[in-house]
Every structure is written in structure tokens, then in C-alpha cells.
């Protein structure tokens, strides 16, 4: 491990806005019986300077979206979640140096998310450039398995936002929403070709959120935009009675082929380009 990562890991221990719980404690009773963390149900009182509605960004990377949303909308508390400590360091350091009282970060696997949030504790979820997980449906962050997890802590009317360059993940998520009768608030296959005034009326979300859609760009988004790939957006309300169903009419082979070869570090498939980004991202 490089000295740069070691320095960041050491500095992470000093950031009050960054929670780094032990996975062993959460898993003490097994993966299917996660042990609740003491912060569950107490985020507003323990991690922020005032109680406010809580918004999560899952897979936040370096925290660009979490930070920018928090600065734009001080009426909400924002939590960025990721497993990579070297990435979280950047956002946690920024929030600490600027005394942002409505920003926190959680280092954990998203599979463990239910151990950290109580029923109705969260108002919204952002999924920004998540891995499309071509081979494993249950690993997709908009799969029925994950929607069930989100429902355990989202308030009634809670919103999930998906911003992605993957047409595969976008279309899969639309299929999940459709087969479960979820109310779609906003949907476009080419965000930057859709004027805000055309998208905003159907969104029914704050203007700060609409602005962030167009003006906040993650490390990954900038890279894909430079290559000319379209950015998609989908938001829906998660409310649903009973188990979430898996879409039966989603053609995985077709939408996987639509991703096609991508030029990043040479000619890569959409799957391998993300893996290379994952392997080389040490910031």
C-alpha cells in the first residue's frame, strides 16, 4: 500500500464527519441478521449540527455530489456512502476544512445499509454512476433486493434518483419501476439534451436538485462526457405494497450489447472500463 493511501487512512481517523464502523461488528450475527449500529435512528443528533431531512448518496466515491448538494441546499443533511476510504478522504477533508455541518460520510458496503438507518430516517437516495453489474441482478442498486432495503428506512414518498451513463442500468431500472407500479417523476435518456425547464415540471422536486442534475459532475461523469456518451436520469417514488417483483420483459442481452465497446484505457467493454477505473482510482 502506498504512503499516500496510508496518510489518507490516518487522516480519516481525525474527521468527525466520517463514520468508519467495524464490518465484523455488523456481521457478528451473520449476513442475514445484521446487527444494528448505534448510529441507527440517531444521525441527526450525532453527526450533524441540526436536525434536517436526510439524503443519501450511495457509492459516493470522492463525495463531489454529496458536497455540492449540501452546499446548494442547507435545509437538508447529506450522507455519502462508499467502501473506499481513500476516496472518502477527499470529501471528508473538504467538509471538515469548511465546517459543513450538514455533511457526513459513512464507510461501509452498501449491502449493509439497513444496519445504519432506522425506519423513515431517510428522505431521498441518489445513485450516481453506479456499476451496472451486468452479470448479477441482485448486485444492481436498483434491483428489487436493494429497493426492499431502501424501503426499510425511506419515508413514505421517498425518492430514488439514478444518474448514469449506462443505458443498460437505466433501462433495467425503468423496467423495475414499471413492473412494480412505481411512480416515475423524471426520465430522460439524454439529460444534457433535455432543457431543465422541460424536465423540472415533471420532477416535482426542489429547484436545487434540478440545478445539481445539470451542474454537478462526478469524476466518472466528466470522463464519459468527454468521450461523447449520453448521461441518463431516472427518478421514482419507492412506495410499493408487498414484495418487489423482478422484471420479466427486460432483454438483458440486447441492452448489454447496446453498451458496446468503450474507449477509455484502450478499447474496453462497459464492464471492463469500470473495473479499470475501479482498479486505478487511488485518489
C-beta atoms surrounding 247 within 10 Å: 20
- C-alpha 66/C-alpha 244 separation (Å) is 28
- C-alpha 134/C-alpha 254 separation (Å) is 12
Note the helical H segments in 131-283: 144-151, 167-179, 196-203, 207-215, 219-226, 252-259, 270-280
Q: Which of 131, 239, 249, 281 is catalytic?
A: 131
131 classed as catalytic: yes
Q: From start to end of the chain, where are the E strands?
A: 18-19, 54-58, 77-82, 103-107, 122-128, 154-164, 184-188, 232-237, 261-263, 267-269
Whether 216 and 208 have beta carbons less than 8 Å apart is answered as no
Q: Which cell is 190 given?
A: 439524454
SS3 content of the chain, % helix, strand, coil (to 5): 40, 20, 40
C-beta atoms surrounding 20 within 10 Å: 16
Whether 8 and 96 have beta carbons less than 8 Å apart is answered as no
As beta bridge partners, residue 57 has: 80, 126
What are the φ and ψ backbone dihedral angles of 199, each rounded to 5 degrees? -85, -40
Residue whose C-alpha is closest to residue 163's, from 132, 137, 134: 132
Residues that are catalytic: 131
Amino acid at each position: 500500500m502506498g504512503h499516500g493511501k496510508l496518510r489518507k487512512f490516518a487522516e480519516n481517523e481525525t474527521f468527525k464527519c466520517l463514520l468508519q464502523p467495524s464490518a465484523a461488528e455488523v456481521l457478528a450475527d451473520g449476513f442475514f441478521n445484521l446487527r444494528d449500529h448505534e448510529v441507527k435512528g440517531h444521525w441527526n443528533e450525532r453527526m450533524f449540527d441540526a436536525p434536517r431531512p436526510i439524503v443519501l448518496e450511495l457509492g459516493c466515491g470522492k463525495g463531489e455530489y454529496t458536497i455540492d448538494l449540501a452546499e446548494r441546499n442547507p435545509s437538508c443533511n447529506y450522507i455519502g456512502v462508499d467502501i473506499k476510504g481513500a476516496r472518502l478522504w477527499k470529501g471528508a477533508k473538504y467538509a471538515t476544512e469548511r465546517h459543513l455541518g450538514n455533511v457526513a460520510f459513512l464507510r461501509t458496503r452498501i449491502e449493509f445499509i439497513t444496519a445504519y438507518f432506522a425506519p423513515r430516517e431517510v428522505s431521498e437516495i441518489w445513485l450516481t454512476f453506479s456499476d451496472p453489474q451486468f452479470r448479477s441482478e441482485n448486485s444492481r442498486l436498483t434491483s428489487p433486493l436493494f429497493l426492499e432495503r431502501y424501503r426499510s428506512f425511506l419515508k413514505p414518498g421517498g425518492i430514488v434518483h439514478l444518474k448514469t451513463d449506462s443505458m443498460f442500468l437505466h433501462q433495467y431500472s425503468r423496467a423495475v419501476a414499471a413492473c412494480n407500479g412505481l411512480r416515475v417523476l423524471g426520465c430522460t435518456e439524454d439529460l444534457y439534451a433535455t432543457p431543465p425547464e422541460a424536465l423540472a415540471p415533471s420532477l416535482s422536486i426542489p429547484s436545487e436538485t434540478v440545478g445539481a442534475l445539470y451542474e454537478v459532475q462526478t469524476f466518472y461523469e466528466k470522463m464519459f462526457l468527454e468521450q461523447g456518451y449520453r448521461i441518463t436520469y431516472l427518478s421514482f417514488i419507492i412506495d410499493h405494497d408487498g414484495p418487489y417483483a423482478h422484471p420479466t420483459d427486460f432483454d438483458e442481452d440486447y441492452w448489454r450489447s447496446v453498451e458496446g465497446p468503450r474507449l477509455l484505457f484502450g478499447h474496453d467493454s462497459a464492464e471492463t472500463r469500470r473495473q479499470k477505473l475501479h482498479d486505478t482510482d487511488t485518489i
